[in-house]
Structure 1
Amino acid sequence: MKKFLRMLKNIGAFKLLMLTLAGIINAFGITVFLTPVKLYDSGISGTSMLLSQITPEALSLSLFLIALNIPLFLYGLKKQGGTFTFCAIYTVAIYSVTAWLITDVLPIDVSIASPLAGTDLLLCALFGGVISGIGSGLAIRFGGAMDGIEVMAVIFAKKLGLSVGSFVMVYNIVLYIICGAVIHSWILPLYSIVTYAAALKTVDYIVDGLQREKAAMIITVKPDDIKKQLMAEFGCGMTLISAKGGYSGTDRTVLYFVVNRFQVMKMKDIVQKLDPLAYITLTEVADIFSVNQDKT
């Protein structure tokens, strides 16, 4: 019990609040936009939606979400750790309870059409995907997960020679093929792919941020001039790394410098003006952390 309370303290109230919000948002996107028109989410959520459609009414979406997800999270307990497992199960529980409230308790009719988008499959696919993607992204960003298939991907993808993303994609492709075969129609599975794409892109934005920075590596023989000008122009520091040309053997310096997308062209102009032979590479940076160390 003490260990559990210590874990809750480490997670913190704010993180629990955000995980609660993630579950509620995901349930809203699924039950208000996707379930009414029989579109399918991805992963275990999509599997639960299919099973709830082809089994007796008593076996609801909420029941399948818990029955399929929780064993997967517990199976991955050793690999992912207790804190992640708790956060994931908590988020799925909130998702399941909220889905049950929307479909069975609240005075919202989601039986034959979306209350907001009607029977327009494209609108339902896009908004369902974006809203559920926000929920899934928040869950990942704050240390949890919305779907047990991601845990299985982490455990088994490498053994199968796949990346985590490829494992999830293969699972979803198989899921949509099964959905099409079961309902004898490919229209809904094809629109479900639109949902999956919208959700995937939204998750990227939520987890990595809307505006990704650019990391520039500038290889030059005039590091002092370029460093002085860039620091004066953008008001930030940089890292200098000693290097040597592999072909010429000439001593060079690599300047590591992070800029946003609006500063890229200005940086290029400054560098090319001071050293026309400088070599510049740019890579996307999803997160930037500054770790302050106590030097006392």
Structure 2
Amino acid sequence: MRSEKTKPQFEWKKFCLLFLAGIINAFGVTLFLAPVNLYDSGISGTSMLLGQLTPDWMSLSLFLLVLNVPLFLYGLKRQGAAFTVYSIFAVAVYSVAAWLITDVLPIDVSIASPLAGSDLLLCALFGGLISGTGSGLAIRFGGAMDGIEVMAVIFAKRLGISVGTFVMIYNVLLYIVCGIVMNSWILPLYSIVTYAAALKTVDFIVEGFDRSKAAMIITAVPEEVCAELSAVFGCGMTTMAGQGYYSGTDKTVVYVVINRYQVSKLREIVHRKDAAAYITITEVADVFSANQNA
């Protein structure tokens, strides 16, 4: 019996949001970074450098498609059809929007940023924040704005490094090449500021501005602790049986998700009920429940 492959499910809502993400990314790069020769990260930064070194008809928009699309197609088997289609769509919108801003619309981006002039720090910060917003939206809604991230997912493990380290190494090498080619280290150094601002913005967009906290409480009086936490915070909890390794004493592990403002109160409540309780707090990037809409 022949097995049927599951067809990818596409959502028009995501296409609309990826369309917005592509425009935002193009806005940040073409109005803040490219006019003062600052460089974005990843394939976008590589495209900007190649656009400066090649004839005028080989523009940023062209290199974005030529470099990104093959990488996304290469990662099709690993990342899935939906991710690949969403990503290529986002990059295509980014490319077309960049072309419209630089070559069609009556906006002068030939000498300096139309919004921040020649102030490199302002251009680096706002270019990074805006392009990071676009990249973050693309990731949050099922795609990506840069093919280097796909390569990182595929090759990082084989090289024995993390995905983040792979991307960082690529960008450091990119900025070194930019410094050598342009015979100046000022612009590459400011580009690192852009990269840092964009990276932080992507984290905010993808994971949220206010991450939740997960508390794991090991206690001998779980009923009292859970009753008090439930009464104060009105939240659900999960309990698991445990045992002390050295003492052999039966313990209960209580798992609960709270916000950062409740951490201090939680610690106070738990230690009031059980002075010997052991508490660990970790960050939670996202929280999903069965009745939560995707």
Superposed pair shares fold, TM > 0.5: yes
Q: Counterpart of 1:104?
A: 103
Q: Counterpart of 2:19?
A: 20
Q: Counterpart of 2:3?
A: none
Q: Counterpart of 1:185?
A: 184
Give the Cα separation in 1 of the matches to 2:238 and 2:157.
Answer: 35
Give the Cα separation in 2 of the matches to 1:164 and 1:86.
Answer: 22
Structure 2 counterpart of 1:118, one-letter code:
G
Q: Counterpart of 1:231?
A: 230
Give the Cα separation in 1 of the matches to 2:139 and 2:10.
Answer: 14
Greater than 3 Å deviation, 4+ residue runs = none
TM-score of the pair, normalised by structure 2: 0.96
Give the Cα separation in 2 of the matches to 1:101 and 1:69.
Answer: 19
Q: What pairs with 1:79-118 in structure 2 (closer than 5 Å)?
A: 79-118=78-117
Give the Cα separation in 2 of the matches to 1:197 and 1:292.
Answer: 36
1:248 aligns with 2:236: no
Give the Cα separation in 2 of the matches to 1:236 and 1:159.
Answer: 42
Structure 2 counterpart of 1:290, one-letter code:
S
Give 1:36 shift: 0.2
Structure 2 counterpart of 1:183, one-letter code:
M
Q: Counterpart of 1:38?
A: 37
SS, match of residue 11 in structure 1: coil
Identity between Structure 1 and Structure 2 (%):
71
1:74 aligns with 2:73: yes
Q: Counterpart of 2:174?
A: 175
Q: Counterpart of 1:221?
A: 220
Give the Cα separation in 2 of the matches to 1:60 and 1:288.
Answer: 42
The farther-off stretch of 71-80 and 29-38 is: 71-80
SS, match of residue 159 in structure 2: coil
Aligned residues, how many?
286
RMSD value over aligned CA atoms? 1.1
Q: Counterpart of 2:156?
A: 157
Give 1:292 shift: 4.9
Give the Cα separation in 1 of the matches to 2:98 and 2:13.
Answer: 23
SS, match of residue 277 in structure 1: coil
What are the ranges of 5 or more consecutive residues in structure 2 without an aligned counterpart?
1-6
1:29-57 Cα offsets, whole Å, 9 max, x none, are 00000000000000000000000001111
Give the Cα separation in 1 of the matches to 2:250 and 2:57.
Answer: 73
Structure 1 counterpart of 2:209, one-letter code:
L
SS, match of residue 288 in structure 2: coil
Give the Cα separation in 1 of the matches to 2:172 and 2:78.
Answer: 26
Give the Cα separation in 2 of the matches to 1:257 and 1:81.
Answer: 34
Give the Cα separation in 1 of the matches to 2:235 and 2:168.
Answer: 40
Give the Cα separation in 1 of the matches to 2:43 and 2:209.
Answer: 27
SS, match of residue 248 in structure 1: coil
Give 1:236 shift: 1.1
Give 1:144 shift: 0.4
SS, match of residue 216 in structure 1: strand
Give the Cα separation in 1 of the matches to 2:283 and 2:10.
Answer: 30
Give the Cα separation in 2 of the matches to 1:13 and 1:66.
Answer: 22
SS, match of residue 157 in structure 1: helix
1:130-162 Cα offsets, whole Å, 9 max, x none, are 000000000000000000101111111111111
Give the Cα separation in 2 of the matches to 1:78 and 1:272.
Answer: 51
Structure 2 counterpart of 1:282, one-letter code:
I
Give 1:78 shift: 1.2
1:149-179 Cα offsets, whole Å, 9 max, x none, are 0111111111111111100000000000000
Give the Cα separation in 1 of the matches to 2:82 and 2:273.
Answer: 51
Q: What pairs with 1:186-205 in structure 2 (closer than 5 Å)?
A: 186-205=185-204
1:36-92 Cα offsets, whole Å, 9 max, x none, are 000000000000000000111111100010011001111111111111110010000
Give the Cα separation in 1 of the matches to 2:29 and 2:86.
Answer: 20
TM-score of the pair, normalised by structure 1: 0.95
Structure 1 counterpart of 2:118, one-letter code:
T
Q: Counterpart of 2:122?
A: 123
SS, match of residue 215 in structure 1: strand
SS, match of residue 253 in structure 1: strand
SS, match of residue 143 in structure 2: coil
Q: What pairs with 1:46-57 in structure 2 (closer than 5 Å)?
A: 46-57=45-56
SS, match of residue 158 in structure 1: helix
Structure 1 counterpart of 2:66, one-letter code:
A
The farther-off stretch of 29-38 and 157-166 is: 157-166
